[in-house]
Amino acid sequence: MIAMTESAFGVRSASPAALGITLAAIGRDRPVVFDELMGAPLVLRHQHVSAALRDPATFSTRFYGLGPMSSAMIALDGPEHARRRRIHNRFFSPGATADYARIVEPIARRTFGAPAGSVDLVGALIAEYPMRVFMGLLGVPDDLGPQGLRWVNAIMAWLGAPMDPSLAGPGAAAFAELEAYTTGLVEAERARPTDNLLGRIVQAHVDEGGYSPEAVTVAVVALLLGGFETTVQLLAGTIAALLLNPGALQRVHAQPALLDAALDESLRWAAPTAGLYRLVLRDTEIAGTPLAAGSMVYLAIAAAHFDESVYPAPDEFRLDRPGPHLGFGAGPHYCVGAPLARLEAKAALSALFTAAPRLRLDPAAEPSFHYSARGFPQHGTETLRVLTN
């Protein structure tokens, strides 16, 4: 297999599209290349990425089971995974999720409704938002303060680099504290049932015959971790994409229903999900490149998103693309939180663009989009400085 001398994952740019454009250019010549920085072969063409995501018997998520989330849904396959998905669909289907708008929208207005002057949207507003929403949905008073964010940051840093011993100690300690805190919430919910998200998660486990405080705790912690930095960088990427494409932003202002299309195109163009690792379970090959059982492979979604055989003129940000993207994954592990992520993102964007119709990037402080932003295994930016008036 050909190895890259310099990793495309080192790319930094004011445009969130740069990583995908660079990776796709490599993929036009070679469908699979070994990347030192990612420590795995990169799969770069849409047809191969899409097929591998839909083939869990060959390309597995089991490696997630090595860390603290050993019994989380993402690490499972087959019938047990399908049973967990059924449980989640009881409280996370698009229908069930629509009901959460009454909680999410006021939080979005409180968070994004009055930006003033020159603001770093990521540091000041976006990074606080997913935790506020999650606490609001769970019906937990936001009494954790910055403690909750510290737990999530320590755990995610550990999950992002499980081999780094300096991150394992703080990560494991934070995980134990978050788990103990969540178990307390679950027990209180059992003692006095409510109709909020936590109540629905408990009830869904009871109805499906899988209730135990541990199972519910694992599910709640997984949802918090799965919906945290993903949502931060979805918002940062979408806001940057719209501000860099004023024509599209104008159309969204005139027709707010286009926010859905803007989100989907941002998931493709800004690629907050740069890609996903998979564990190869049996000897196989992709486009003639052998992949051995037991090795890891990286399905480069950002590259697939700029594959011109699927997306005509892929470098352009267009609100009228018919095709689906891979930003929420595909196949059996397709993001179970996608309806909630859409609801959260639309509520935030709508509050922000209504409060600051003249919002624009601050020319004195360009964002820097890159892989591993804020230390998470996501593509995004540490800062997004904007001018509001």
**Please, is 245 exposed, middle or buried when counting C-beta atoms within 10 Å of its C-beta (0-12, 13-18, 19+)?**
buried
Under rule CB under 6 A, residue 341 binds ligand HEM: yes
What radius of gyration do the chain's Cα atoms show? 20
Sites for ligand HEM among residues 81-110 (CB under 6 A): 85
Judged by CB under 6 A, the residue of 276, 297, 300, 352 near ligand HEM is 276
Q: Is 20 in the site for ligand HEM (CB under 6 A)?
A: no
The answer to whether residue 16 forms part of the interface with ligand HEM (CB under 6 A) is: no
Q: Quick one: which segment of 32-40, 163-171, 221-229, 283-291 binds ligand HEM (CB under 6 A)?
A: 221-229
User: Whole-angstrom Cα distance, residue 238 to residue 231?
Assistant: 10
Which helix (H) or strand (E) is 230 found in, with range?
helix 229-244
Q: Which is nearer to ligand HEM, 56 or 388 (CB)?
A: 56
Nearer to ligand HEM, 20 or 227 (CB): 227
Q: Which helix (H) or strand (E) holds 34?
A: strand 32-35
Q: Of 104, 222, 248, 286, which one interacts with ligand HEM (CB under 6 A)?
A: 222
Query: In angstroms, rounded to a whole number, what is the distance separating the alpha carbons of residues 133 and 359?
Result: 24
198 touches ligand HEM by CB under 6 A:
no
135: how many CB neighbours lie within 10 A of its CB? 17
Among 50, 230, 245, 388, binds ligand HEM (CB under 6 A): 230
Contact residue for ligand HEM among 4, 51, 74, 101 (CB under 6 A): 74
Q: Is 73 in the site for ligand HEM (CB under 6 A)?
A: yes
Per-residue x/- marks for ligand HEM, 306-335, CB under 6 A? ---------------------xxx---x-x
CA distance linking residue 300 with residue 38, whole number of Å: 11
Rounded CA gap, 57 and 77, in Å?
8
Shortest distance, CB of residue 74 to ligand HEM, whole angstroms? 4
Rounded Cα–Cα distance for residues 301 and 23 (Å):
10
CB atoms within 10 A of CB 346: 21
Under the binding rule (CB under 6 A), the answer on residue 231 touching ligand HEM is yes
CB 317 within 8 A of CB 248: yes
Residues near ligand HEM (CB under 6 A) are 61, 73-74, 85, 222-223, 226-227, 230-231, 234, 272-273, 276, 327-329, 333, 335-337, 340-341, 344
